Amino acid sequence: MSTVANRITIKRLHPHFVAEVIGIDCSAPMLREDFRTIWEAFNEHQILVFRDQHFNDESQIAFSSMFNQLETMIAHPGNDWNPGHISVMTNLGKDGEFLPLDHPAMVHRARNEEWHSDSSFKPIAALASLLSARIVPPLGGNTDFASARAAYEALPVERRAALDGLVALHRMTHRDMDNDQGYKEEDKKRHIVTHPVVRTNPVNGRNALYVGAHAQEIVGMPPEEGAKLLDELTEYCTQPQFVYRHAWRDGDAVMWDNRCTLHRATTFDRTKYKRKLHRTTIAGKAPDTAFAVIPGMHAG
Ligand code: OGA
Ligand code: MN
């Protein structure tokens, strides 16, 4: 039996995480071994960077679907009320012209500047997200990533033990959501879920802190106390030594593990430079530890 050896090279880009995958065209049919190499690299390195790709929505959906089913987005301001598998991170309207800064889509997307894990407010949270660059601004508009796995592993043993078993309550809405008009039509669909604060990757047993903007309370703690602890943990995870900043280039695609990393958008001149990235979100499988939907609890 013959296999194709070493078609793919994995090059680490940061001391703690992030690797560039070299030697693969993600839009082309893929060998099983190549997919396995990518899957293993994803579990190990948490963030994968693919350069010089040629994704369109169809090929991005096809590649992303190899990992698991995709999440389907309901219509909301972040995707210009176009439900489906593609979320669009842009400052442009459908006509390709700049959106006003107070447009609901812009207000909604500005929230991506808070550290978060995609879909952590869902009962089965996202496994991964894949963002592909379609229009890259010449200055700014980077995406920051933090390894919540490296952060967890750097904690003293006693601190890890103290966090073990804690459960956080995640809301879709951000804390200042009442000022956001964009979600009105979704109000009824808001839900609150719980996830463990320490998450384990079932493939390799590595633990990570599972925090970020949607994690807002700790079950069994007064709300302010839980919020304070979660804020501290997010701040801890996002210290410079755990952070990789991705400066987008044409043809870039970045795939991140939502189970063990946090990310945020960074600012740029939205009235001067055009930016457009398309995201697919790969659903999680079963919860890796117990979770519960708390019915009847609503934010705001
Ligand atoms: C996302 C996201 C950040 C960015 O696509 O989930 O948070 O830099 N994007 O656009
Ligand atoms: Mn995001």
Neighbouring residues of 20: CB distance < 8 A, sequence distance ≥ 6: 10, 11, 13, 48, 49, 50, 51
143 lines ligand 1 (CB under 6 A): yes
- Residue 183: per-residue pLDDT: 58
Instruction: Report which bound ligand comes closest to the CA of 134.
Output: 1
- Residue 140: per-residue pLDDT: 97
- Residue 94: per-residue pLDDT: 87
**Average pLDDT of the chain to the nearest whole number:** 89
Nearest C-alpha to atom 7 of ligand 1 is from which residue? Answer: 112
Distance (angstroms) between ligand 2 centre and the Cα of 130 equals 10
167, 197 Cβ separation under 8 angstroms:
yes
Pocket test for ligand 1, best of 174, 279, 280, 281 (most atoms within 8 A of CB): 279
- Residue 290: per-residue pLDDT: 37
76 — pLDDT class (breaks 50, 70, 90): confident
Q: How far apart are the first and last CA of the chain?
A: 60
- Residue 72: per-residue pLDDT: 92
- Residue 170: per-residue pLDDT: 93
pLDDT at 261 over 70: yes
129 lines ligand 1 (CB under 6 A): yes
Instruction: Report which bound ligand comes closest to the CA of 214.
Output: 2
Which of 43, 36, 45 is CA-nearest to residue 10?
A: 45
* Domains of the chain from N-terminus onward: 2-289 (3.60.130.10)
126 — pLDDT class (breaks 50, 70, 90): very high
Distance (angstroms) between ligand 1 centre and the Cα of 87 equals 9
Distance (angstroms) between ligand 2 centre and the Cα of 88 equals 11
Chain segment 133-155, per-residue pLDDT in tens = 999 999 999 999 999 999 999 99
Residues of the chain above pLDDT 90, percent: 78
CA distances from 6 to 35, 50, 92 (A): 13, 16, 41
- DSSP secondary structure string for all residues of 27-72: TS---HHHHHHHHHHHHHHSEEEE-S----HHHHHHHHTTTSPBP-
Rounded to an integer, the average pLDDT of 83-87 is 93
Please name every residue paired with 92 in a beta bridge, in sequence order, or none if there are none.
98
89, 263 Cβ separation under 8 angstroms:
no
* CA–CA distance, 237 with 231 (Å, rounded to integer): 10
Nearest C-alpha to atom 6 of ligand 1 is from which residue? Answer: 118
Residues of the chain above pLDDT 70, percent: 87
Rounded to an integer, the average pLDDT of 55-74 is 95
Tokens 């309207």 correspond to 93
Chain segment 198-254, per-residue pLDDT in tens = 999 999 999 999 999 999 999 999 999 999 999 999 999 999 999 999 999 999 999
277, 101 Cβ separation under 8 angstroms:
no
Which of 292, 299, 280, 298 is CA-nearest to residue 122?
A: 292
Nearest C-alpha to atom 5 of ligand 1 is from which residue? Answer: 279
Alpha helices for the chain (secondary structure H): 32-45, 57-64, 104-110, 148-153, 157-163, 223-237
